[in-house]
Amino acid sequence: MEEKIAIIGLFVRDITSANAVNELLHKYADKIVGRMGIPYRDESLNIISVIIKASGDEIAALSGSLGRIPGVTVKAMQTPL
């Protein structure tokens, strides 16, 4: 299957969801190129960007699973290599 590069952006409003987010990202660790997290304490918001190289199906599966975690909002943008 064709690999793509994607940026997955997350807004985490519920800090109790952080463990679920990290566990899920750990499952895809071999596909993740880079990750940056910014705690925006003034707004009680954590912002995470994940760069991933994977198939379109894997990207969709990860972003969909992340989006089902309570208190987490996710958007993904991808392009073929």
Average pLDDT taken over every residue of the chain: 96
pTM value is 0.92
Torsion angle defined by CA atoms of residues 12, 42, 7 and 77, in that order, rounded to the nearest 10 degrees: 80
- Which CATH code of 2.130.10.10, 3.30.70.1150, 3.30.70.240, 3.40.50.300 fits the domain covering 3-80? 3.30.70.1150
Q: What is the predicted pLDDT for the residue at 81?
A: 87
Segment 11-35 mean pLDDT: 96
DSSP letters along the chain, please? --EEEEEEEEEE--GGGHHHHHHHHHHTTTTEEEEEEEEEGGGTEEEEEEEEEEEHHHHHHHHHHHHTSTTEEEEEEEEE-
Q: Is the pLDDT of residue 19 over 90?
A: yes
User: Could you read off the pLDDT of 29-68 as tens digits, one per residue?
Assistant: 999 999 999 999 999 999 999 999 999 999 999 999 999 9
Q: Is the pLDDT of residue 1 over 90?
A: no
